[in-house]
Amino acid sequence: MVLNTNKLVIAVSLVLSGFFAVEMMTQLLSEDKPVAPSKILFGSCADQNKPQPIWNSINKEQPDVFLFLGDNIYADTENREVFEQQYAQLNAKPGFQTLRENSQILATWDDHDYGVDDGGADYPAKELSRQVFLDFWGEPEDSQRRSRDWGIYKASYFGAKDQRVQIIMLDTRWNRTPLISLVKEEYKAKRKIFNKGLYVPSEDPQATILGEQQWQQLEQDLKQPADLRIIVSSIQVFSYFTGFESWANFPPEQQRMLELIKTTEAKNVLFISGDTHSAELSKITDASGNSLFELTSSGLTNIEENPSSNQNRVQGPYTGQNYGFIEIDWQAPGRPVLFGVRDVQGRTQFSQQILIDQ
C-alpha cells in the first residue's frame, strides 16, 4: 500500500529534477499523515560510488515510508560542492529515483553524511552540512530543523486514533561531545586482535550524545499519543560495549534513555539503527521484565564480514547487503508488528513479532 498523498507528488515530480524535486515533494506531504502505514522499510550506509541493486527489492515491496538512518552518502568533507556532488550521485541512481517517486522518505544523518568520520559537535562545517542535507531531502525553508541550535531532530506522525505511528529521528552528531580514544599503541594492537574498537566509555558527567534541548524535546514527544513508536538512532543504542562508536561510549545517556521511556510510560517502542555494516537484533530486559528491541540494518552497499560481538544480540548477525522492514497488520487480532532484515534479493534473514495490544 502506498500513501494516497503520493499521487500528487508523483505528478509534480515528473516535471522536476534534482534537489528542487525532492524539496517540492516533501513540502506537499504534511507532517501528520491521516493514513497509517502498513509497511515501513529502512536502511543505512549507501556508498554513492558503488552499485545499488538493493533498490530493486525495496521498490518491489512498495513501502509506505522509507527511513534513511544515516551514512546515506559518503562525503567526509567541509566543501559545499563536494557535498552536492555526492548527493547528486545518489540522486542519479534509478532505484533511488523510483523510491523517491513512490514512497514517503524521512532521513537523519550519521558521520559520513554529516561530514567527518565519527564526528560530533566540534565538526566546523556542520551548519553548511545541515543546509545541504536538508536541501537534498526537501525540508521546507521554514522548518525548525534548519535553524534551531540543537540539530536536525524530527518527530513525524502517521495515522489517526488507534492506528497512530510515531517516528522519531534522533540527531546523534550535532551535540555529541568528543569520544575518548585509547592512545597507547600496545592497547590498540590488543583491541584489534579481538575485533574491538579504540574508544572507551566517557567518565565525564557532562558528556552527551543528544544535548539537553534534544532530550527535552524527546521527552515531550514520548508523552504524545501513539500506538507504535519507532526511535531512529544512526548508531547502536543498546549493543554491548565493543569499543566502536555507539551509545555504549556514553553510559549515562544509555541509562537516561531507559529511564525516560519508563517515566513517560511510552509503550510499544522499537529502536532502529545503522552504522555497523552488518545487521542484527538486540534485546534488553529490565528488572521488571519489560523488554526493548533494537533492530540494526546496515548496509545498503557496505558490509562488514567480521562484526563485533554483542552480548545483547538475539538474532543475527547478517553480513550481506540488507535493509530493515516493519510490517503492521492493523486489522489482525492483537495488531501484530513483524520486523526484521531482508537481503539484496528481498529474502528475510531474520524477524521478530510483537503485538501492539499485548
Residues 282, 278: Cα–Cα separation, whole Å: 13
* Start-to-end C-alpha separation, the chain: 25
Q: Is the CA virtual torsion 271, 275, 281, 287 positive or negative?
A: negative
At 242 the pLDDT is 85
Structural domain spans, the chain: 6-355
Residues 197, 246: Cα–Cα separation, whole Å: 10
Helices 18-28, 126-136: axis angle to 10 degrees equals 70
At 31 the pLDDT is 53
Please check the confidence at residue 12 and state whether its pLDDT lies above 70.
no
pLDDT tens, residue by residue, 52-99: 999 999 999 999 999 999 999 999 999 999 999 999 999 999 999 999
User: Taking all residues of the chain, what is their mean pLDDT, rounded to a whole number?
Assistant: 90
pLDDT tens, residue by residue, 266-312: 999 999 999 999 999 999 997 778 899 999 999 999 999 999 989 99
At 214 the pLDDT is 98
CATH number of 6-355: 3.60.21.70
Residues 320, 280: Cα–Cα separation, whole Å: 11
Residues 109, 75: Cα–Cα separation, whole Å: 12
At 32 the pLDDT is 64
Cis ω before 299 (30° cut-off from 0):
yes
How buried is 30 (Cβ within 10 angstroms: 0-12 exposed, 13-18 middle, 19+ buried)? Answer: exposed
At 182 the pLDDT is 84
Provide the residue type at 16 as one letter: L
Beta bridge partners of 293: 270, 283
CB count within 10 Å of CB 245 equals 23
Residues 158, 337: Cα–Cα separation, whole Å: 15
pLDDT tens, residue by residue, 87-146: 999 999 999 999 999 999 999 999 999 999 999 999 999 999 999 999 999 999 999 999
Please check the confidence at residue 244 and state whether its pLDDT lies above 80.
yes
At 21 the pLDDT is 39
Say which residues have a Cβ less than 8 Å from residue 64's Cβ, sequence separation at least 6: 1, 2, 3, 35, 37, 38, 39, 40, 103, 104, 158
**Contact of 270 with 322, CB cutoff 8 Å:** no
Arithmetic mean of pLDDT, 11-31? 37
Say which residues have a Cβ less than 8 Å from residue 161's Cβ, sequence separation at least 6: 225
pTM of the entire predicted model: 0.90
pLDDT tens, residue by residue, 317-327: 999 999 999 99
At 111 the pLDDT is 98
Report CA Rg, the chain: 19
Cell of 267: 509503550
Residues 224, 215: Cα–Cα separation, whole Å: 15
3-state secondary structure of 14: coil
Residues 67, 165: Cα–Cα separation, whole Å: 14
Arithmetic mean of pLDDT, 181-195? 72
